[in-house]
A and B are shown apart, each in its own frame.
Chain A
Amino acid sequence: MTTIHVPRPPKSSMNPNRPASSLLLTQVEQMHAAEKRLPLRYRTDIYINAIRTEREAARYIREVTEAIHQAHADAARSRLQRTPKRTRTLQIAAAADEKPAPVRTIKRASKKENSKTRPKK
């Protein structure tokens, strides 16, 4: 069995200040489209038209990717919490006499509170 040496790229290859390519800027725009569908509390405060470099593009992409995962994780958690732990028989019996539940208002968390729930970067 032959072991083949793979040359490492030089350190000088690294240039996060390189202007973001049209591919990367397209990715930013597509992430922005996804971000606009997130609830407000998950959105970034990054102005995408001002993104110029790979580092800036990557920072924005990271924030939106994490926010999407977080929003889905929070939704899954809240779905679990809302599931009543009653048997099927009891549910049907209870539903017969049940009055419509009052509409609950969900208090939107402030941006400051939410920043604590987001993963550390």
Chain B
Amino acid sequence: MANGSAPGLDGLRHIVVLMMENRSFDHMLGSLSADDPRIDGITSALSNPDTTGAKVNAQPLAEFQGQLDPDPDHHFPAVDLQIFGGDTSDNRTANMSGFVKSYFNQRRDVQHSQKIMYYFPKEKLPVLTTLATEFAVFNRWFASIPGPTICNRAFAHYGTSFGRVDMNLVYINEPFKSIYSRLINASPKHTSKLYYYDVASSTMEIVNLLQNQPELFGTFDQFLGDCSKGQLPDYSFIEPNYSDHDTDSGEELANDQHPDHNVQAGEMYIAQVYMAIKRNPALWASTALLVVYDEHGGIYDHVVPPACQADQFTATANDTGTGREFKFDRLGVRVPAVLISPWIQKGTVVDRTFDHASIPATVTKFFMGDYAPRSPREKNADVFLEPNTQLVDSNRNLLSLTSMRNDCPEFDV
């Protein structure tokens, strides 16, 4: 460990996390490997068998909307099929070969099921691919659970899903507190806010927090105001708009990128969050923004999720729907994740393994140092920002530049 000069970390005051919905790494960022082989992306040589046994190759034919309808299944049993290809034996090996078979189960249409292998060429996603190549892209950021949204998002807030692998309400099981409660009750106190898009979109997975601590929440408009006024909290978590809906002043288009919502609307949203921070020079210099997706949404990715430290909870065979219990000892499918700061070297590719438990782990360690109690999963999760109060390992510090970049891109939003 070296005490490297880390002015980016010394000046870091704000961590912002934007969590989008249901897209895999290969689907969104996989095409980048053609230009940069350090990025573990997708090639047309990768394939899955369909239900007739024919080989279905990955193709750069993903569309913004209308292609993944119905929504690909991403509940625990379906993801088990996607990862293990339908092998249910005791000594099975993960091979990422069941995606087409799984999607076939949705519509019983062989042709349609092949679309689960489609990915975006980089030109179609100028925001996410630009951020990935300009800042730090994670080759190994996985969903926390091979399952759906709610339990995966819980890991981002609590470092555990309290034993849930499904979409049921997460009941907070003391003593594990949310990252927000930890921060606002710390001594010295820290500030923290969850920004949902608007009251009609509200919060997706943390109704428990909303009903007990509504003061923690704000809207996206308030986020924009807090950025321009320089009043952003120490830690902010941003949710997208989950629905097409009416407002008092017109209509709002869903921008969460959940199939079958328009992916371009999500691109706009990511750019708006980025530009809101960048337009305030003091904030831009002192903020790290993580853009990450909650889970893969049933869409193909080629990287086998690794085993991990078991949590202290166990989901029963009945809960998982697979006939096997789950000890939370395997990560979910890989998702896009990009860390943004003007202190990050352009073109950084991170090979260390992360999951959503890394979010509370990082925020806690950065602002509070040691903290107990935390879930076994969170305690073992790697951190993506090092605290600035101790010796910093220069090999792990992503905000490694000694002077701030002035060549960072802008978006016309």
Contacts and interface: CB of A to CB of B under 8 A. Distances in A.
Interface in A76-121: 121
B324 to A, nearest CB: 23
Interface string B192-220: 00000011111111010011001100000
B199 A65 contact: yes
A3 B215 CA distance: 37
Given A1-B410, A16-B246, A59-B246, 8 more contacts: A7-B267, A13-B264, A14-B251, A18-B260, A23-B21, A37-B211, A58-B243, A65-B202
A30 B64 contact: no
Interface in A22-37: 22-24, 26-27, 29-31, 33-34, 37
Contacts of B201: 58, 61
A4 B411 contact: yes
Interface of A: 1-9, 13-16, 18, 20-24, 26-27, 29-31, 33-34, 37, 54-55, 57-59, 61-62, 64-66, 68-69, 72, 121
Nearest to A64: B202
B200 A26 contact: no
Central interface residue in B211, B409, B411, by most chain A CB within 10 Å: B211
A9 B167 contact: no
A97 to B, nearest CB: 39
Nearest to A58: B245
30 contacts: A1-B408, A3-B409, A3-B412, A5-B126, A6-B126, A6-B127, A6-B412, A7-B126, A9-B253, A9-B264, A9-B265, A9-B268, A18-B260, A22-B167, A23-B21, A23-B204, A23-B258, A26-B150, A26-B167, A30-B207, A33-B169, A34-B207, A34-B210, A55-B245, A58-B243, A58-B244, A61-B201, A61-B243, A66-B199, A69-B214
B277 to A, nearest CB: 15
A56 B137 CA distance: 38
A59 B200 contact: yes
Interface of chain A, main secondary structure: helix
What 7 A-B pairs are tightest by C-beta distance, nearest first? A58-B245, A62-B200, A9-B264, A13-B262, A58-B200, A54-B243, A34-B211
Interface of chain B, main secondary structure: loop
Contacts of B210: 34, 65, 68
A100 to B, nearest CB: 31
Central interface residue in B64, B65, B200, B205, by most chain A CB within 10 Å: B200
Given A34-B210, A69-B214, A2 B409 contact: yes
Central interface residue in B130, B202, B205, B409, by most chain A CB within 10 Å: B202
Nearest to B170: A30
Contact of B244 (A2, A4, A18, A34): A18
Interface in B368-413: 406-413
A22 B244 contact: no
A35 to B, nearest CB: 9
A21 B253 CA distance: 15
A34 B210 CA distance: 9
A24 B211 CA distance: 18
Contacts of B268: 6, 8-9
A30 B211 CA distance: 11
Interface string B60-71: 000011000001
Contact of B251 (A16, A29, A31): A16
A23 B253 contact: no
A68 B214 contact: yes
A64 B199 CA distance: 9
Nearest to B126: A4
